[in-house]
Amino acid sequence: VKHLLGIKYLTQADIHLIFETADHFKEVINRSIKKVPSLRDITIANLFFENSTRTRLSFELAEKRLSADVVNFSASSSSVKKGETLIDTVNNILSMKVDMVVMRHPNPGAGVFLSQHINASIINAGDGAHEHPTQALLDCYSIREKLGDVAGKKVVIVGDILHSRVALSNIFALQLLGAKVKVCGPKTLIPKYIEKLGVEVEGNLQEALEWCDVANMLRVQNERMDISYFPSIREYSQQYGVNKTLLDSLKNEIVIMHPGPINRGVEITSDVADSKQSIILHQVENGVAIRMAVIYLLASKIKHHES
């Protein structure tokens, strides 16, 4: 495998290999070894055509900890603003001898499209409402770390499933690893194809939370929807938001996850986001080890191909 374009292209064995490699890098980081020499001869371009905090910084840190050379590109301050196309932009960057491209783009399938036109390895850092594979990997890795295993765990993904690349990648990864998955949210934000993926829909949040071991609370993606999808944010938070009273009323102590950025007071209140049941910052921490693992494994294919 030369690229990481989506979880749907991975096998269970691929994910286990990524986790074992991430375990190694996490141990290295925890020993306060900030840098390993593995990727000294690799150059990586981080191309962000959409805003990001966690994914962009996490990839950059992962690359630097592997000793790769890194160039960063942000569409908002580039010649994309003058009308340059995606292919022209990427080919110009690749002509500077870049080996690997990490790309976030608003169009679903942008990574697949690019992989058909260029030679470099591509890692999808989020393509529209399609996939966000490294987020799903770090989410499943965080569940494994917290609960010992992903297999057999019950995970509910709550909120704006329709516009969420995190939801789709999580569904694929969780199912590959043997978890049971439900989604919960307003009907207008649940895609019609969801049951074809073997995912049950639970309309009632309390029921969903009583059923699960883990609740992954998604952000309402206002930037991807028109106002007709849901009547109001207040109504959303009343029906699908988790507050401390609701969390404490559950018979089991569930794990709370969120991919970020959080709309505090909408999908979760601050006392839930910052509670001891929340592993949100562990997810972010694990993102670096997971991305080191993915980059390292893909780069070893480049090196193998060159030698």
Active site residue 132: yes
Which residues are at the interface with ligand CP (CB under 6 A)? Answer: 52-55, 126, 135, 259-261
Q: Between 241 and 259, whose beta carbon lies closer to ligand CP?
A: 259
Q: Does residue 259 have a known ligand-binding role? A: no
- Rounded Cα distance between 286 and 25, Å, is 10
Q: How far is the CB of 46 from ligand CP (least distance, A)?
A: 11
| Catalytic choice (3, 26, 56, 104) | 104
225 exposure class (CB count in 10 Å sphere: 0-12, 13-18, 19+): middle
Number of helices and strands in the chain (H, E): 11, 9
Nearer to ligand CP, 139 or 202 (CB): 139
- Minimum Å gap between C-beta 91 and ligand CP is 25
CB of 33 to ligand CP, least distance (A): 26
User: DSSP letters along 172-199, please?
Assistant: HHHHHTT-EEEEES-GGGS-GGGGGGT-
Q: Cα torsion at 206, 236, 128, 223 (round to 10°)?
A: -160
CA angle 290, 68, 115 (to 5 degrees): 70
CB of 305 to ligand CP, least distance (A): 30
Residues present in the chain in total: 307
> Angle 165-176/12-30 helices, nearest 10 degrees?
100
**Three-class SS state of 157:** strand
CA distances from 132 to 128, 138, 266, 271, 286 (A): 9, 10, 22, 27, 15
Of the listed 82, 97, 196, 276, which one is catalytic?
82
Looking at beta carbons only, is 135 or 175 nearer to ligand CP?
135
Buried b (16+ CB within 10 A) or exposed e, 6-27: bbeebeeebbeebbebbeebbe
Q: Which two tokens stand for residue 301?
A: 């294919």
Catalytically annotated residue among 43, 55, 134, 269: 55
Nearer to ligand CP, 135 or 216 (CB): 135
Catalytic, out of 2, 8, 24, 54: 54
Is 191 known as a binding-site position? Answer: no
Please confirm, yes or no, whether 56 is among the known catalytic residues. no
* Least CB distance to ligand CP at residue 42 (A): 22
Please indicate whether residue 104 is annotated as part of the active site: yes
277 is in an annotated binding site: no
Is 54 assigned to a binding site?
yes
Active site residue 82: yes
135 is in an annotated binding site: yes
R_g (Cα) of the chain, nearest Å = 19
Residue closer to ligand CP by CB (options 130, 180) is: 130
Task: Tell whether 221 is in a known binding site.
Answer: no
Q: Which residues are annotated as a binding site?
A: 54-55, 82, 104, 132, 135, 165, 219, 260-261
Q: Which residues are annotated as a binding site for L-aspartate?
A: 82, 165, 219
- Active site positions, annotated: 54-55, 82, 104, 132
